[in-house]
Each structure stands twice: as C-alpha cells, then as structure tokens.
Structure 1
Amino acid sequence: MTDTRRHLLDALSAADAPVSGPVLADRLGVSRAAVWKHVEALRDAGFDIESGAAGYAVASAPDYGAAAIEFGLDAPYAVEYHDRLPSTNDRARDLAAEGVTDTVVVAGEQTGGRGRLDRAWHSPPGGVYASLLCRPDRPPAHVPTFTLAAAVAVTRACREAGVDAVIKWPNDVLLAGDERKLAGILTEMEGEADRVSWLVVGIGTNVDVDAADLPEDATSVRAEGGTADRRRFCRRVIEAFHALRADPEAVLPAWRDHAVTLGRSVRVETPAGDVTGEAVDVRFPGSLVVRTDDGERVVHAGDCEHLRPGSA
C-alpha cells in the first residue's frame, strides 16, 4: 500500500463521521481527483468505502491481505502479502539483500515452512505466517532478545483472542495446561561483530485452522474457542513486537510473566551435552538459568524439554 493510501485510510478510520474529498485532499496534499483515484484503488483492494454528500467513510475492510493488515496498524511497517509462499523467511531474506527494512512478509499458506534446526513447520491455510524484517542498531549477541520479544507478542495476541497461551523457553507458544503448540518462531540474521545488518523474525501461528489439519501435539486459536480473526491477530503481533523492540528492557520481565518453563524440571539438549535440573530464571539476552545438582548452569541455546516429576 502506498503511503498516501495508508494516510487516507488512517484519516477515515480516525473520523467519527464521513470525511469530505476537499478535506482529504488538503490533509494529504493531493488533488480531489487524486483522492478519488486512491479511493477507487482501495475499493479494488477489497475495502468497502461509502461515499455521499458528506464525504467518504470505511464501511468494512477486506478479510486478509496487505491492505487489510496495514489498515489501522499502529506500527511503521509495510506489509507484503502472498497467497502462497514456500517460506516467508526466505522471501524476507531476499528483501534484506535488496536493502529493504521495516517490512512484514505475510503468506496465506506456506509450502516449505521450517522451524528451528531446519525442522519442517506445518503451515496449512488459515494460519498467520509472517516474517518481520528490520535492522536494529544492536550487536548480534543481543538478537535472542528479539526472539523472546516475538514470543511475547504472539502470546499477547493469543490471549487477546481468548486463548490462554504460555511460552516454553525460548520461543514456543503453547496452550496452557496440556501444552499443545500454538506457534513457533524462527529468527535469522546477518551481521558483523558489532552490529546486526538485518534481522528476520519468522512467526507461524495456528489461528483459523481446523484441529484435524494439525499434528496431534498442536492446536489453534479457533480450535480452542478463540476469535480467529487473522487480520487482527497479525496486526496485534506486529504492534506488540514493535513496542518491545522500542523498549528492550521490558522484554525479559514480559517473557517471565508468560513463561511456563520457569519453576519446572527441564532437560536442555545442547551441543556440549544435556543440562538437567530446575529452570529458575532467564537472563539477558535470553539465556536460561538451570539449577542442577552441580550448581547453576546458564544455557544460551538448546532444545528444552519439560520433564514430569520423577523423570530424568
């Protein structure tokens, strides 16, 4: 969506009554004819924009897509939408190579989605598959904080949709209770020793997906009785991530508030061997502190398994 069309929609959405063509033209710095052309383009994109003697008003927005997600989005990101992609992360990496930033690649379906350790990620139609591309002025060592921020953003969106979501270290979003998976996050980056060149945070969330289309250990917002509005869900994830990106000191406290791992017996598989004990804290930039029989261990990365009482 062009900046002019986005500003036009912002003006209409903020108004309590129809806005006249001359007023819009003056606010946007364009001609009245240009306003009409932009309104027609938005109608072609699926917006129901009513017009009358008093001016223009948005009656409804399209269900999903770039324009729908950007409508009312309170974060400075452009949205690139595809009905189907092999991987939103791959597309975002391509855009990063072209110098693009502050863009979210969204797909209605992924045919080659992947998770951590290059595992396949099941991505049927109805999920929210989005990769946020940005260029934070941070060293690569700080990147895990952005992954935790994304997990918090998804968890908040799930809860706003009516589903009690929790986080398993570092970034799996699960249903509270039986801990079936709602979402996964894959972060990729390129950088130098002292700064990140680009960062891609890929998010795959089961939103408007039937339980029969998911693995047994997964569930969806719709299957759990939540509001399966993909447009709203995607928008809230972007907004929450952006807010945490702007306030990095808020990330770890927010993550702790939603964590289901802390206080649990865990086994973390790391390249140096398994670490087993009680997860007691998370430290900057996202390391898990595990109390073992030999003292506290700080785990920077690894596969975390929640253990049942008495297991080892």
Structure 2
Amino acid sequence: MNETRRRVLEELADGPVTGPEIADALDVSRAAVWKHVEALRDAGFEIESRTDGYELVDVTGYNGPTIEYGLEAPFTIEYHETIASTNDRARELAAEGAEDVVVLANEQTGGRGRLDRRFDSPPGGVWVSIVCRPDIPPVRAPLFTLAGAVAIARAVREVGVDARIKWPNDVVVPVGEDGEYRKLAGILTEMEGEADRVTWLIVGTGINADIASEELPEGATSVRDEVGPFDRRVFVQRLLETFHEYRDLEGVLEDWRDLSLTLGQRVRVELPDGEIEGDAVEIADGGALVVETEDDRVQVSAGDCEHLRPT
C-alpha cells in the first residue's frame, strides 16, 4: 500500500472527516482524496459517506492492503488470488534483494511440500511465504521451521482449535489419546547462503483455513471444519505477528516442546538409508528429533516421522 493511501486510511479511521480536511492534512487535491477513497472501497474497506464526512466502519476484504492495515509486524504483503507457488515467487523476490516481504495467495496451482511432494492448495487456504534475511549461520536455519510451526499453532489455537506440532514440519489436530491426528498445516523452509551465514531464508506455510471438508485430502482437516466461520484476514495478521515474535529465535524451542504432539510418542522415522524406531524424547538445540532406541539415543535431522503409540 502506498504511503498516501495509508495516510488517507489513518484519517478515515479517526473520522468522520471531510474530503477537504483530508486534502489539507495530506497536501493533495480533493480529486486525489476521492480517488483514494474509491480505491480503498474496491479493496474491501467499508467507508461511509455522511453529511459530516467519510468514516471507515469495517474491513471486509482479504488482500494485501487489508491485511497490512493494522498489522503489527514489519511485513509488506504481495497478494495473489491464484499463483503456482508462493515459495517460488518468494525465491524470485529474495534473489532481487527483497526482505520482510510476504507472498500470500488464496489458491496455489503448484504447491509443494518436502521432497517436492504435491501440496493441495485449494481456494480458501492460507498459502503464505515469508522472505527473511536473518543474521544466523545455516546450521540454525531449521529453527525457523520450528518458529513457523509454533506461530501457526498459536494462531490456530487463538481461534479455538487444539493445534499441536508433529515433527518435523506439520501442524495437526489430535484425535483421541493414541497420537493420531488430522493434518492442518505444513511448512517448507528454503534458504540460500554461504558456509558461515544465511543470505536469505523463506518460510513457506500452507494452512487449511476456510476450506470445506469435502475439498480436503483424506486425513486432513481445516480451521473452518474445526470451529466454523472465522475471520481469515485477522487470522493471517495474528500468524504474521506471532512469527515476528520469534524472529530472534528466542523461546522457540521451549514453546515448540510445549505444543509438540510427537514428544512422548513411540515413533518410526524413515531415513534415506533405512529407518529407526524408538521413543521421541526431546528436540535438540538445532531442531533435530532425539529418538531413544533400544541401543542408543539418535538425533534425526530430517525424515518422515510416523506416530506409533504413546510411550
């Protein structure tokens, strides 16, 4: 959103205020004020025209300007109604030097998860990729996946869903007491860097948000399925604000442990050269899962994790 339009919004939020008063405050023409007001209406800002001036009464749109409005985090939103992949677009922006840009889409046609697996991304989801440039060595990059998972889980819990985290990169809703779950969200983190520092990092998240159950794959659920109607715009704002809280990685491990569904489970982890089975007992400082087998404690950095039963 350009700065003039942002300032018009600020004036309207304090309204009612007349067009001439806005023009004088912003040092623009009355015609320019009218054009900005109409553009804001088109974007989903409900602005009433009354005898005593304009007033912003509600925000109903779901797009870049409406999500940036009131967002308490330093992100710029690039919104797409439909896109192949928000992560692919975020990589383009990162290569151009972008920072703190959020690529958000209502629908993805080529969404992907770990190992380039297809990630179904129908309309109504929250398909979002955040471009960051953290001053960290690459070895700490996996902690941003944990930060993304904690941010999603907290935002989902705020709307009333018992969201938990399944290692390595899923947010789920528990079913029963045996470690079973329905998948709610997934995370794909990508980065480019050198041996001692990260150049850029992208945290891509796909959340089944305002999606009906019949549009979801087997074993999945959505926020709407769990709690009914909710404000997706406000939900995205809270997600981004919560992620921003963890940008310095402070408290990520502790909060991940508190929200984990995997810790305390008997698990089987498939690795490129085999599999291990044991008890998931801890998350290491670098984000690896610590599995206690019959013979040893093993740190697993990546792999497909299956919950077998509680320990």
User: Secondary structure of 1:249's match?
Assistant: coil
Sort the Cα spacing of 1:25 and 1:120 in 2 relative to 1 into closer, same or farther, 3 A. Answer: same
Q: Distance in 1 between matches of 2:125 and 2:53?
A: 37
Q: Does 1:49 align with 2:44?
A: no
Q: Distance in 1 between matches of 2:91 and 2:10?
A: 29
TM-score (norm 1): 0.90
Which position in structure 2 is the counterpart of 1:235?
A: 237
Which position in structure 2 is the counterpart of 1:205?
A: 207
1:114-160 Cα deviation digits (max 9, x unpaired):
00111000111111111111111111111111111111111111111
Which position in structure 1 is the counterpart of 2:275?
A: 274
User: Secondary structure of 2:123's match?
Assistant: coil
User: Secondary structure of 1:108's match?
Assistant: strand
Aligned residues: CA RMSD = 2.1
Q: Residue 194 of structure 1 aligns to which amino acid in structure 2?
A: D
Q: Distance in 2 between matches of 1:284 and 1:3?
A: 41
Shift of 1:44: 2.7
Q: Does 1:3 align with 2:25?
A: no
Shift of 1:79: 0.7
Equivalent pair of 1:161/1:227 in contact (CA under 8 Å): no
Matches within 5 A, 1:123-134: 123-134=121-132
Matches within 5 A, 1:1-312: 1-10=1-10, 12-13=12-13, 15=14, 18-19=16-17, 30-31=27-28, 33=30, 34-52=32-50, 54-177=52-175, 178-245=180-247, 247-308=248-309
Equivalent pair of 1:49/1:56 in contact (CA under 8 Å): yes
Q: Distance in 2 between matches of 1:285 and 1:12?
A: 47
Q: Distance in 2 between matches of 1:263 and 1:284?
A: 18
Shift of 1:309: 6.0
Equivalent pair of 2:264/2:310 in contact (CA under 8 Å): no
User: Secondary structure of 2:181's match?
Assistant: coil
| Count, aligned residues | 306
Shift of 1:53: 5.2
Equivalent pair of 1:92/1:133 in contact (CA under 8 Å): yes
User: Secondary structure of 2:202's match?
Assistant: strand
Which runs of no fewer than 5 residues in structure 2 stay unpaired? none
Shift of 1:76: 0.8
Sort the Cα spacing of 1:309 and 1:174 in 2 relative to 1 into closer, same or farther, 3 A. Answer: closer
Q: Distance in 1 between matches of 2:82 and 2:114?
A: 21
Equivalent pair of 1:185/1:202 in contact (CA under 8 Å): yes
Equivalent pair of 2:128/2:204 in contact (CA under 8 Å): yes
Give the % identical residues.
59
Shift of 1:78: 0.7
Q: Residue 78 of structure 2 aligns to which amino acid in structure 1?
A: E
Equivalent pair of 2:164/2:259 in contact (CA under 8 Å): yes
Q: Distance in 2 between matches of 1:267 and 1:284?
A: 21
Q: Residue 75 of structure 1 aligns to which amino acid in structure 2?
A: A
TM-score (norm 2): 0.91
Equivalent pair of 1:167/1:261 in contact (CA under 8 Å): yes
User: Secondary structure of 1:257's match?
Assistant: helix
1:97-118 Cα deviation digits (max 9, x unpaired):
1111111111111111000111
Shift of 1:181: 0.4
